[in-house]
């Protein structure tokens, strides 16, 4: 029991009907009653239902998804015709079962983004073609990534290849709520993994066409490669220890389907022009986009417009429309949860009529900016309120087989209604079963888990849970927990606090690619020193239960790390101080 903490057993509670609501009585809102499970659930479903329609409200939040931007069973002629007619900008999700998708970006005097949807109903493959044509003089560049089915996986190809699940992917959507742990069979001897190959020989700077083909039953979508945050790129270069190889690799990641087929929607067909929005000010600029605050001239609503940055360097692999942005748009359009930023639509326009913008709900702040400006850390009850919302959002993602892979305070938006929403899904991806080798170059370094830093090629939702642990620590102390300068320094900082792992603490640790580096031996977990139960100088304290949650999120061994469900159900949220109601979360002046 934490110092000052009051343990109230679940069963002995008398709970107000809706403890999170502002009941207008300042005395009563002092969290005199703690929630039981039903109340927490009620609060969660209230969060979920505030935005949903009536029918949606009746379904559990974790099952609800919006329509994915999928062109589904499109008539061949219609699709081809529409692509011709929509020279302006017309692309669609790469998620289909038996259609061929061609995504073309043409650059002439007039830059154009085209997508040709060409269904091949009987064909055995799904072909995704991304073409960039530079047409000052009909110069056509082609980069080909070909994914051939049925190839044997040769030794040493892991860096460039990954296995495609032999399991029919759509099954996982049909099965509903199955946790990733339950549904991750390992390859049996009777299962011959299909291999996807990035044909590097055909990757040439003279080329601009990207072709990804897969067997239809994989129900796969587009692909991405080599996407790194600026920080990640920097860290890879900074690294010098010869015993430790940077986890950077540019292997092709194969896409999983974004969502079950629920309908057909070509997200840019008939899309509005960005001219329908008045840009008010630039909010921020990230690696993949420039975010503006804008007013929708039609509805007068304030929105956030994220302009997708096209890759201008034609010698770059991801020249043209970034696949990370395609992923982000596709995933965000299909997500529907109060803790996930809502993308309302995609609009086009700009100088050359070919810029693509995501129109999102606008939130006044992000947690990084807020923590930089706040004089005091968030109180424990405020941290609980934020953590619950974050965990709810991540629970929704993991339940829908999505790993965010870049959770950090700057990707957590907050508004003056106390709502927290996860944004920036550029690194997010759907995962299937069994887990495939993915790139380690995900998650901004400070929030990246040890298994990725050590070069693990197979990972899953536990990577997000580590990031959540780092975020919880930062919310409590208002400073980053592990601000490593390089990847090695990052690992050293982690081990200095949590102890240097060994085979008994983390079975399998020593066989990770970068585990051979000589790390200073630190035998103890010193996390508690950073987050004490008692403070004589009036600093932030953390109860036993709070520490148990934090320590569980920061388990070095991903197998031992708390799952999102375990974290959501943690008893810390049930002890006083209770999670603050969103209605009573502090408000902050708008950022400049």
Ligand X SMILES: Nc1ncnc2c1ncn2[C@@H]1O[C@H](COP(=O)(O)OP(=O)(O)OP(=O)(O)O)[C@@H](O)[C@H]1O
Contacts with ligand X by CB under 6 A lie at 229, 283-284, 286-289, 291, 304, 306, 341, 360-363, 366, 410-411, 413, 423-424, 426
Distance from C-alpha of 171 to C-alpha of 401, rounded to nearest angstrom: 12
84, 353 Cβ separation under 8 angstroms = no
420, 413 Cβ separation under 8 angstroms = yes
Rg, C-alpha atoms of the chain: 24
Q: Give the three-class secondary structure for 215.
A: strand
359, 305 Cβ separation under 8 angstroms = yes
Nearby residues of 93 by Cβ (< 8 Å), 6 or more positions away: 68, 69, 70, 71, 101, 221, 258, 267, 326, 329, 330
Nearer to ligand X, 293 or 395 (CB): 293
CB atoms under 10 Å from CB of 243, counted, come to 10
Nearer to ligand X, 33 or 284 (CB): 284
Alpha helices (H) along 335-379: 367-373
- What minimum distance in Å lies between the beta carbon of 178 and ligand X? 30
Catalytic residue (one of 254, 355, 366, 406) = 406
- What minimum distance in Å lies between the beta carbon of 590 and ligand X? 10
- What minimum distance in Å lies between the beta carbon of 289 and ligand X? 4
H or E element at residue 469: helix 462-477
| 254 given a catalytic annotation | no
The residue number whose beta carbon is nearest to ligand X equals 286
Q: Give the three-class secondary structure for 312.
A: coil
In sequence order, what are the beta bridge partners of 115? 103
- What minimum distance in Å lies between the beta carbon of 256 and ligand X? 20
- What minimum distance in Å lies between the beta carbon of 50 and ligand X? 17
Give the rounded distance of the alpha carbon of 529 from its chain centre. 31
- What minimum distance in Å lies between the beta carbon of 407 and ligand X? 11
Nearer to ligand X, 269 or 280 (CB): 280
Nearer to ligand X, 101 or 441 (CB): 441
Nearer to ligand X, 369 or 434 (CB): 369
Nearer to ligand X, 57 or 344 (CB): 344
- What minimum distance in Å lies between the beta carbon of 421 and ligand X? 8
String of DSSP letters for 159-183: TTEEEEPSS-THHHHHH-S--TTTT
Nearer to ligand X, 216 or 448 (CB): 448
How would you label 57-94 residue by residue, b for 16+ Cβ within 10 Å and e otherwise? eeeebbebbbbbbbbbebeeeebbebbeebebbbbbbb
Distance from C-alpha of 498 to C-alpha of 526, rounded to nearest angstrom: 6
Nearer to ligand X, 197 or 309 (CB): 309
Distances (CA, A) of 301 to 55, 172, 294, 336: 25, 38, 8, 20
- What minimum distance in Å lies between the beta carbon of 412 and ligand X? 9
- CA 288, 348, 333 angle in degrees (round to 5)? 65
H or E element at residue 231: helix 230-238
H or E element at residue 360: strand 355-361
Write out the catalytic residue numbers. 406
């Amino acid at each position: 029991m934490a110092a000052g903490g009051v343990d109230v057993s679940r069963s002995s509670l008398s709970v107000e009907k809706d403890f999170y609501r502002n009941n207008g009585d300042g005395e009563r809102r002092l969290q005199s009653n703690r929630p039981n499970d039903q109340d927490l659930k009620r609060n969660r479903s209230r969060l979920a239902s505030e935005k949903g329609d009536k029918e949606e409200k009746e379904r559990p939040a974790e099952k609800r998804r919006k329509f994915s931007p999928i062109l589904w069973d499109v008539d061949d002629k219609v699709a081809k015709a529409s692509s011709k007619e929509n020279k302006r900008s017309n692309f669609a999700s790469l998620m289909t079962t038996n259609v061929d998708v061609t995504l073309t970006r043409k650059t002439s005097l007039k830059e154009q983004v085209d997508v040709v949807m060409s269904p091949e109903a009987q064909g055995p493959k799904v072909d995704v073609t991304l073409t960039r044509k530079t047409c000052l003089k009909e110069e056509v560049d082609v980069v080909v990534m070909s994914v051939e089915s049925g190839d044997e996986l040769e030794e040493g190809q892991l860096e460039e290849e990954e296995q495609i699940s032999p399991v029919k992917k759509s099954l996982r959507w049909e099965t509903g709520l199955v946790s990733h742990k339950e549904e991750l069979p390992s390859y049996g001897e009777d299962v011959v993994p299909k291999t996807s190959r990035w044909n590097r020989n055909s990757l040439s700077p003279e080329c601009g066409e990207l072709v990804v083909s897969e067997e239809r039953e994989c129900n796969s979508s587009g692909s991405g490669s080599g996407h790194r945050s600026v920080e990640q790129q920097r860290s890879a270069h900074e690294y010098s220890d010869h015993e430790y190889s940077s986890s950077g690799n540019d292997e092709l990641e194969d896409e999983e389907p974004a969502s079950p087929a629920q309908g057909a929607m070509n997200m840019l067909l008939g899309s509005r022009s960005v001219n329908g929005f008045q840009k008010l000010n630039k909010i921020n600029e990230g690696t993949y986009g420039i975010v503006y605050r804008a007013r929708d001239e039609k509805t007068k609503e304030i929105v956030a417009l994220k302009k997708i940055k096209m890759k201008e360097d034609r010698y770059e692999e991801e020249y043209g429309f970034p696949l990370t942005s395609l992923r982000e748009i596709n995933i965000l359009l299909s997500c529907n949860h109060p803790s996930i930023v809502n993308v309302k639509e995609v609009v086009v326009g700009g100088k050359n009529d070919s810029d693509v913008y995501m129109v999102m709900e606008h939130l006044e702040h992000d947690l990084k900016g807020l923590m930089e400006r706040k004089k005091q850390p968030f109180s424990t009850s405020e941290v609980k309120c934020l953590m619950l919302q974050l965990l709810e959002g991540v629970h929704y993602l993991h339940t829908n087989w999505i790993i965010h892979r870049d959770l950090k305070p700057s990707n957590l938006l907050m508004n003056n209604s106390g709502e927290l929403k996860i944004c920036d899904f550029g690194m997010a991806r759907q995962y299937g079963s069994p887990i495939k080798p993915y790139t380690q170059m995900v998650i901004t370094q400070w929030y990246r888990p040890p298994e990725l830093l050590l070069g693990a090629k197979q990972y899953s939702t536990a990577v997000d849970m580590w990031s959540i642990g780092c975020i919880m620590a930062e919310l409590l102390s208002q400073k980053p927990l592990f601000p490593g300068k390089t990847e090695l320094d990052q690992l050293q900082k982690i081990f200095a606090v949590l102890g240097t792992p060994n085979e008994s603490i983390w079975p399998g640790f020593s066989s990770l690619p970068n585990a051979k580096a000589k790390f200073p031996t630190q035998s103890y977990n010193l996390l508690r020193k950073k987050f004490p139960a008692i403070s004589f100088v009036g600093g932030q304290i953390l109860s036993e239960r709070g520490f148990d949650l934090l320590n569980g999120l920061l388990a070095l061994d991903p197998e031992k790390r708390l799952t999102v469900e375990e974290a959501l159900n943690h008893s810390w949220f049930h002890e006083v101080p209770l999670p603050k109601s969103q209605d009573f979360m502090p408000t902050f002046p708008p950022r400049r």
